[in-house]
Amino acid sequence: MRIVDGEGRCSEFEPTEHFSVKEARRADRFTQLVLVATREALADAGWEDELPYPAEEVGTIIGTGIGGIGTIESNDRMLIEHGPKRVSPLAVPLMMGNAGAAAVSMHHGLKVQLRRRVGVRGWHARDRVGDARDPGW
């Protein structure tokens, strides 16, 4: 990836190299990038075949400022130009900020249930690691 003007656009990323056309259509670019990055990270960690811990002890926390902005922008444009009947019925699930974490959990069978919302405000990685270790989550 080449970073220009402070932005890493991932312009070489082609979703259909990693997903079927149907899967790519049903995931915002944000979620697609999260899934591919997670797959690579798990492979690097040696977790690609099976989890080293019970699925009930592994969960997903991904910090994002907004999630599926591409879906928000395209459906906003569709709403303005063509009206509400042309907005995708998948718009809300695709643009949710937690869509990436949910997709990772579902794809890899991770089953830890988070009992509280992790907000962007006050986000600190060290705190989230401590939260993940807390059985009260």
Give the pLDDT confidence of 77-101 residue by residue, as tens digits.
999 999 999 999 989 888 888 889 8
Quote the percentage of the chain above a pLDDT of 70.
77
Q: Is 91 or 134 the better-scoring residue by pLDDT?
A: 91
Q: Count of alpha carbons within 13 Å of 16, Cβ hemisphere only?
A: 3
Q: Return the amino acid letter for 131.
A: D
- What domains, with CATH codes, occur in the chain? 14-133 (3.40.47.10)
- 76 within 8 A of 19, measured Cβ to Cβ: no
Contacts of 88 (CB under 8 A, 6+ apart): 71, 75, 78, 94
pLDDT of residue 69: 87
How much is the pTM?
Answer: 0.77
d(CA 71, CA 41): 25
Instruction: Determine the pLDDT at residue 97.
Output: 83
DSSP letter (8 states) at residue 121: T
